[in-house]
């Protein structure tokens, strides 16, 4: 990585002050080790997450966005995958240098995560009270009456009606949206410094999704925790995120403030992706579709991974991976066209 | 509209209730899930009708009834004027050929132990007297028409990506030259760029073959891109129906408005009023009295709590069930 | 469009079939082939008459031990019969019982399981109650009833084992079918106009093949052991037919003085059961198109 990289990571949203940075990821590499060989699932990803900021990590399946998210908590599936390089700095402390037991105090308390499927995130045989209570007991040492009161308070904050009754129910008795709120309640129970959200609304109905997104946004406004929002949906980015990082084949190919990205996307992949989504508010004549398929992370070439599908491909693209190019204060791109 | 000659599928006042087992053993009191509760629509030749709604609105059950996977509890379902439940023998086989389906999950739609050629050719093998080489020939041309390499006919499903599997599923649905294809969430399990490929392919196929689609979807953007007409369903009933452009430009029912507001757009400038629905979807066993949307409707007034709104035409070709009109 | 990236898989040919055989575990494969050949040609392979004892040669140890005779390589039993010859003859009976029983229970169990799972409703309830009854019924009691009424014979053993063991197949396969039935390809088959029989045998059966194979290979070992206990109870195959189970039982009381009488058939049973189990594992992988590609 060049020096340019670390400078370029300055977020678009806020005028950059270094003490604002809560989570700083530098040149993160997580590789998959399988019978087929080594797959570069996450290959040199860097970003900063500032107080109150929401960064959207966008990409299609296999782009490495979820693996990046899991790697931050060192929850990437072992031994199939290993973090082989980089730094994950939580307020300056490198999480990759921590022991497993130190990591356990980070997970849940300092960095919380909400995953896609609320049903698997909850234990079906325990009541909501047990599950919400567990984190509070473990990390905050609450017991008995105070524990109960804190749990009720928490559910109220997540706008869950009738919290006393919900606390005594089991996960299957709740709707999907309600379950995801419970999961979020657990995640936020210890007032984490960072919230990781891996497609938290994908399994939900649209109106339920809208309500949950608004809720997360409101809670963030109150508490100021930054969110790393992993999604494949540009609609969610438009509604939730201040900054966007577009991932393709394990690398961030473009990073910009949300408004800039939608107004003037610079990477051919981002451009094509934006033109391939229909919109509900305007009539679409015909969607652009990207020919071909994403490359296998097990067989990446020297050059730009998007080159085989890129309409603007040049000779240089096939042999040399583009370095990060700053287009504006709030936009960087990895594409030789802009060099 | 039922008299029109170009009407292919027609549902009138269709209901589907599922019994729920009582928790008390041997109790005779039966409760019913009102999955579909008095739904009427028509699918005309060459057009796409969409049924939109969230989970539990009855759109999938409706699709299953058109595919004869479920029998309606009441009401009538007709294809070219013939009652579906009365079809037998050759007539039934003809219907099977005329109405086919593509489902959401391309991993579940393909038989993992069946090679592509056999999978796509199966409807032909079962319903026609074509010989094996003739079927193989048809399979090859079907593969080409969905944008796949004919050489992939020997592949097993696991050798395909999600988008390719969905193409295989479409090829099979087209094998018998159907007049209507029921598309149940055809792109919601796919990546954005792959979904765009499949949607474009579906539009091209419709243009070249003149078939009709009955699209079941929850994503309004997909619906807007693919449909000519849209019917919005809530708790087993159609609450609004109009031509696609009319419905999206000029939604009348509060639920439709909430859906459109909740749909995520990447054009923030075009944003409409934000309507966030409160509360939970009521149980389909004990339906709320009056308008079934009143428990969550931001505009509900007294009348809505007691009287069920009439489903009627509020503008030419635009119908809605709401007391506000 | 996007298919061209993938090479098409070649159709299955004889060459490819033998290609997979190359990956078969060598020792188990050799073992199974050996036992099958021995069973097939047993009458010409036995060095001695398996049922004729020589009184002077009772309980002779195997050839590699002191006092052992080269002519009776694996020693002799209490009646002076050659253990090797009896093992060879026994392979024939044991393998025959095992195969017939497995085929019988696979066929009955698979059909019952498929029909039960696919049809559901009353059919399912009836079949599953029969399965429950069969599994709950003490099989030894059934064997005794059979043995007493029909007399001990080869076919009694086969009938008893076959009648009891299909139920396990039926239950497991029904469970799998209940899951498979929810997959969309089954719904699509109905929409394409496939008959229930076609759905069951063309769509569902190949998808439960793995389970059947694993269960069948495990059952082969079970059958050999069950056969020996039936023989022990006196309702098994008649005295004149040597089986591995009977031989095991013959040496039961002489374990401290003439251990080889039980040890030789015991070793034979263990190695055959292990061989079948590992072949079963391999066959399951080969039959799965997904694993085949890796």
Contacts across the A-C interface (CB distance below 8 Å): 8
For residue B159, give how far its alpha carbon lies from the nearest alpha carbon of chain A (Å): 14
Does the beta carbon of A35 lie under 8 angstroms from any beta carbon of chain C?
yes
Q: Nearest CB to B267: which of A161, A208, A279?
A: A279
Q: Judge: A293–C2 Cβ closer than 8 Å, yes or no.
A: yes
Interface of C with B in 1-20 (CB under 8 A): 1-4, 6, 8-11
pLDDT digits (tens, 9 = 90+) for C145-190: 877 887 778 888 888 888 888 999 999 999 999 999 999 999 999 9
Contacts across the A-B interface (CB distance below 8 Å): 127
Enclosing H/E stretch for B109: helix B106-109
pLDDT given for residue B271 in this prediction: 57
Does the beta carbon of C211 lie under 8 angstroms from any beta carbon of chain B?
no
Q: What is the 3-state secondary structure (H, E, C) of A121-161?
A: HCCCCCCHHHHHHHHHHHHHCCCHHHHHHHHHHHHHHCCCC
Average pLDDT over chain A, rounded to an integer: 87
Does the beta carbon of A292 lie under 8 angstroms from any beta carbon of chain C?
yes
Q: What is the mean pLDDT of residues B288-296?
A: 91
Strand order in the sheet with B31-44: B31-44, B7-20, B74-79, B82-83
pLDDT given for residue B63 in this prediction: 94
C-alpha–C-alpha distance, residues A290 and B195, integer Å = 10
DSSP class of residue B241 equals E
Q: Judge: B152–C184 Cβ closer than 8 Å, yes or no.
A: no
Q: Judge: C192–B100 Cβ closer than 8 Å, yes or no.
A: yes
Judge whether C21 lies within some domain. no
Tokens at residue C16, please? 């490819």
pLDDT given for residue C54 in this prediction: 76
In this predicted complex, what is the ipTM? 0.86
Q: What percent of chain A has pLDDT over 70?
A: 95
pLDDT at B15 over 90: yes
pLDDT at B298 over 70: yes
By mean pLDDT, which of A7-16, A52-61, B181-190 is the weakest? A7-16
pLDDT at C136 over 60: yes
Judge whether C18 lies within some domain. no
pLDDT at C289 over 70: no
- With beta carbons under 8 A apart, name residues in chain B contacting A58: none
Judge whether C6 lies within some domain. no
C-alpha–C-alpha distance, residues C238 and A118, integer Å = 63
pLDDT digits (tens, 9 = 90+) for B32-89: 889 999 999 999 999 999 999 988 899 999 999 999 999 999 999 999 999 999 998 8
Q: Judge: C294–A292 Cβ closer than 8 Å, yes or no.
A: no
pLDDT given for residue B187 in this prediction: 92
- With beta carbons under 8 A apart, name residues in chain B contacting C293: 156, 158-159
Q: What is the mean pLDDT of residues C86-94?
A: 87
Judge whether C241 lies within some domain. yes
List of domains in chain B? 7-253 (3.40.50.300)
Q: Which of C177, C202, C179 is nearest to C189 (CA)?
A: C202
- With beta carbons under 8 A apart, name residues in chain B contacting C203: 111, 114
Judge whether C48 lies within some domain. no
On whether the CB atoms of residues A150 and A237 are closer than 8 A, the answer is no
C-alpha–C-alpha distance, residues B305 and C204, integer Å = 50
Q: In which domain, by residue range, is C114 found?
A: 27-42+53-293
Q: Which residues contact A30 (CB under 8 A, 6 or more apart)?
A: A41, A42, A64, A67, A68, A71, A76, A81, A82, A83, A84
Q: Judge: B156–C2 Cβ closer than 8 Å, yes or no.
A: no
Average pLDDT over chain C, rounded to an integer: 82
Q: Judge: B280–A273 Cβ closer than 8 Å, yes or no.
A: no
Q: Where are the beta strands (DSSP E) in chain B?
A: 7-20, 31-44, 48-52, 74-79, 82-83, 99-102, 180-184, 212-217, 229-234, 237-243, 311-315, 318-321
pLDDT given for residue A9 in this prediction: 42
pLDDT at A113 over 80: yes
C-alpha–C-alpha distance, residues A270 and A116, integer Å = 24
Q: Nearest CB to B154: which of C4, C10, C192?
A: C10
pLDDT given for residue C22 in this prediction: 64
For residue A36, give how far its alpha carbon lies from the nearest alpha carbon of chain C (Å): 8
Q: Nearest CB to C294: which of A35, A291, A292?
A: A35
Alpha carbon C252 to its chain centroid, in Å, reads: 24
Q: Which residues contact A8 (CB under 8 A, 6 or more apart)?
A: A255, A324, A326, A332
C-alpha–C-alpha distance, residues A77 and A30, integer Å = 10
CA atoms within a 13 Å half-sphere pointing along the CA-CB vector of C187: 22
Closest-CA residue in chain A for C3? A292
Q: What is the mean pLDDT of residues C244-272?
A: 84
Q: What percent of chain B has pLDDT over 90?
A: 67
pLDDT digits (tens, 9 = 90+) for C73-82: 788 888 888 8
Average pLDDT over chain B, rounded to an integer: 90
Q: Judge: A206–B259 Cβ closer than 8 Å, yes or no.
A: yes
pLDDT digits (tens, 9 = 90+) for A155-181: 888 888 888 888 999 988 888 888 888
Residue C262 pLDDT level (bands cut at 50, 70, 90) = confident
C touches which chains (3+ CB pairs under 8 A)? A, B
Q: Which of A317, C30, A159, A211 is nearest to B54 (CA)?
A: A211
Does the beta carbon of B161 lie under 8 angstroms from any beta carbon of chain C?
yes
- In chain C, the number of structural domains is 1
pLDDT at C97 over 90: no
pLDDT digits (tens, 9 = 90+) for A287-309: 988 888 888 888 888 899 999 99
Q: What is the mean pLDDT of residues B169-175?
A: 96
pLDDT digits (tens, 9 = 90+) for A246-281: 999 999 999 999 999 999 999 999 999 999 988 888
Q: What are phi and psi of A44, to 5 degrees?
A: 80, 50
Q: Judge: C188–B109 Cβ closer than 8 Å, yes or no.
A: yes
The arrangement of secondary structure in A3-104+231-279+287-338, i.e. its CATH architecture, is 3-Layer(aba) Sandwich (3.40)
Specify the residue for token string 């033109």. Answer: A275
- With beta carbons under 8 A apart, name residues in chain B contacting A180: none
On whether the CB atoms of residues C139 and C164 are closer than 8 A, the answer is yes
For residue B292, give how far its alpha carbon lies from the nearest alpha carbon of chain A (Å): 17
Tokens at residue A318, please? 């096939």
Q: Judge: A293–C294 Cβ closer than 8 Å, yes or no.
A: no
Q: What are phi and psi of B307, to 5 degrees?
A: -115, 135
C-alpha–C-alpha distance, residues C21 and C25, integer Å = 9
Tokens at residue A129, please? 């009270």
B touches which chains (3+ CB pairs under 8 A)? A, C
Q: Judge: A291–C1 Cβ closer than 8 Å, yes or no.
A: yes
Q: What is the mean pLDDT of residues B161-171?
A: 93
Q: Residue A334 in 3-state DSSP?
A: coil
Q: Which of B198, B318, B308 is nearest to B252 (CA)?
A: B318
- With beta carbons under 8 A apart, name residues in chain A contacting C294: 35
DSSP class of residue C294 equals -
Q: Judge: A293–C5 Cβ closer than 8 Å, yes or no.
A: yes
- With beta carbons under 8 A apart, name residues in chain B contacting C189: 111, 122
- With beta carbons under 8 A apart, name residues in chain A contacting C5: 292-293
Residue C292 pLDDT level (bands cut at 50, 70, 90) = low
For residue C274, the domain's CATH number is 1.10.3720.10
pLDDT digits (tens, 9 = 90+) for A206-219: 888 888 898 899 99
By mean pLDDT, which of A177-191, A284-298, C41-55, C83-97 is the weakest? C41-55
pLDDT given for residue A334 in this prediction: 95
pLDDT at A12 over 50: no
Residue A57 pLDDT level (bands cut at 50, 70, 90) = very high
pLDDT given for residue C249 in this prediction: 79
pLDDT digits (tens, 9 = 90+) for A69-105: 999 999 988 888 999 999 999 999 999 999 999 998 8
For residue C2, give how far its alpha carbon lies from the nearest alpha carbon of chain A (Å): 5
Q: Judge: B272–A281 Cβ closer than 8 Å, yes or no.
A: yes
């Amino acid at each position: 990585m060049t020096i340019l990289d670390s400078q370029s990571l300055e977020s678009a949203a806020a005028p950059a002050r270094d003490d604002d940075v809560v989570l700083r990821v530098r040149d993160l590499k997580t590789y998959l080790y399988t019978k087929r060989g080594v797959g570069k699932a996450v290959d040199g990803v860097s970003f900063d997450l500032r107080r109150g900021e929401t960064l959207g990590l966008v990409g299609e399946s296999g782009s490495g966005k979820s693996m990046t998210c899991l790697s931050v908590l060192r929850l990437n599936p072992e031994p199939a995958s290993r973090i082989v390089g980089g730094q994950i700095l939580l307020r300056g402390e490198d999480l990759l240098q921590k022991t497993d037991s130190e990591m356990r105090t980070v997970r849940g308390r300092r960095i919380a995560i909400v995953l896609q499927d609320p049903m698997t995130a909850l234990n079906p045989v325990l009541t909501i009270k047990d599950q919400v209570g567990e984190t509070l007991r473990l990390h905050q040492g609450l017991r008995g009456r105070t524990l109960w009161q804190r749990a009720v308070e928490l559910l109220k904050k997540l706008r869950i009606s009738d919290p006393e009754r919900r606390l005594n129910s089991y996960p299957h008795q709740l709707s999907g949206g309600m379950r995801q709120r419970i999961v979020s309640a657990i995640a936020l129970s210890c007032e984490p410094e960072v919230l990781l959200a891996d497609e938290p609304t994908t399994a939900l109905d649209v109106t339920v999704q809208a309500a949950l997104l608004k809720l997360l946004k409101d809670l963030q406004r109150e508490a100021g925790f930054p969110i790393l929002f992993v999604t494949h949906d540009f609609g969610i980015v438009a509604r939730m995120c201040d900054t966007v990082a577009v991932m393709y084949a394990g690398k961030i190919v473009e990073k910009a403030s949300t408004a800039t990205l939608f107004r003037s996307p610079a990477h051919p992949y981002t451009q094509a992706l934006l033109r391939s989504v229909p919109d509900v508010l305007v009539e679409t004549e015909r969607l652009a579709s990207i020919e071909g398929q994403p490359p296998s992370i097990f067989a990446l070439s020297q050059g730009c991974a998007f080159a085989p599908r890129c309409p603007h491909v040049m000779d240089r693209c096939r042999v040399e991976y583009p370095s990060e190019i700053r287009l504006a204060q709030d936009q960087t791109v990895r594409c030789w066209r802009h060099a | 509209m039922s008299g029109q000659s170009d009407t292919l599928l027609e549902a009138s006042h269709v209901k589907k209730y599922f019994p729920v087992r009582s928790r008390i053993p041997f109790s005779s009191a039966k409760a019913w899930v009102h999955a579909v509760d008095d739904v009427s629509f028509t699918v005309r030749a060459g057009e796409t009708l969409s049924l939109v709604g969230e989970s539990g609105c009855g759109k999938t059950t409706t699709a299953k009834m058109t595919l004869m996977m479920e029998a309606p509890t009441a009401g009538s379902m007709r294809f070219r004027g013939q009652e579906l439940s009365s079809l037998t023998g050759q007539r039934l086989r003809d219907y099977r050929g005329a109405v086919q389906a593509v489902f959401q999950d391309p991993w579940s739609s393909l038989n993992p132990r069946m090679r592509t050629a056999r999978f796509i050719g199966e409807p032909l093998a079962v319903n026609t007297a074509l010989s094996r080489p003739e079927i193989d020939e048809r399979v090859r041309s079907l593969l080409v028409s969905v944008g796949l390499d004919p050489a992939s006919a020997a592949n097993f499903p696991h050798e395909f990506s999600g988008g390719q599997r969905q193409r295989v599923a479409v090829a099979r649905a087209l094998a018998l030259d159907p007049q209507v294809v029921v598309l149940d969430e055809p792109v919601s399990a796919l990546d954005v760029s792959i979904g765009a490929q499949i949607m474009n392919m579906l539009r091209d196929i419709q243009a070249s073959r003149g078939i009709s689609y009955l699209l079941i979807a929850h994503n309004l953007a997909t619906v807007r891109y693919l449909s000519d007409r849209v019917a919005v369903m809530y708790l087993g009933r159609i609450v609004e129906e109009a031509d696609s452009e009319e419905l999206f430009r000029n939604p009348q029912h509060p639920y439709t408005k909430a859906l459109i507001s909740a749909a995520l757009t990447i054009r923030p400038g075009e944003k409409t009023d934000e309507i966030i629905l409160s509360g939970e979807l009521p149980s389909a066993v004990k339906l709320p009295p009056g308008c079934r949307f009143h428990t969550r409707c931001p505009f509900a007034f007294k009348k809505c709590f007691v009287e069920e709104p009439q489903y009627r035409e509020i503008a030419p070709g635009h119908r809605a069930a709401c007391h506000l009109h | 469009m996007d298919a061209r990236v993938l090479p098409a898989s070649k159709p299955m040919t004889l060459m490819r079939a033998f290609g997979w055989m190359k990956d078969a575990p060598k020792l188990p494969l050799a073992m199974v082939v050996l036992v099958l050949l021995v069973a097939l040609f047993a009458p010409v392979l036995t060095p001695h008459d398996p049922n004729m004892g020589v009184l002077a040669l009772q309980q002779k140890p195997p050839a590699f031990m002191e006092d052992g005779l080269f002519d009776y390589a694996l020693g002799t039993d209490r009646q002076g019969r050659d253990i090797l010859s009896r093992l060879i003859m026994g392979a024939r009976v044991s393998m025959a019982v095992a195969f017939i029983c497995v085929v019988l229970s696979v066929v009955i169990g698979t059909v019952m399981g498929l029909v039960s799972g696919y049809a559901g409703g009353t059919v399912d309830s009836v079949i599953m109650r029969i399965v429950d009854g069969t599994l709950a019924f003490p099989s030894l009691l059934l064997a005794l009833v059979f043995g007493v009424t029909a007399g001990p014979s080869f076919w009694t053993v086969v009938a008893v084992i076959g009648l009891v063991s299909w139920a396990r197949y039926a239950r497991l396969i029904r469970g799998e079918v209940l899951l498979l039935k929810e997959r969309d390809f089954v719904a699509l088959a109905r929409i394409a106009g496939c008959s229930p029989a076609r759905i069951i045998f063309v769509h569902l059966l190949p998808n439960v093949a793995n389970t059947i194979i694993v269960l069948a290979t495990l059952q082969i070992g079970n059958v050999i052991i069950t056969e020996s206990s039936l023989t022990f109870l006196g309702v098994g195959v008649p005295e004149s037919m040597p089986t591995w189970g009977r031989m095991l039982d013959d040496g039961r009381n002489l374990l401290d003085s003439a251990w080889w009488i039980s040890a030789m058939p015991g070793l034979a049973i263990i190695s055959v059961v292990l061989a079948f189990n590992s072949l079963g594992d391999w066959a399951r992988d080969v039959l799965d198109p997904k694993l085949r590609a890796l």
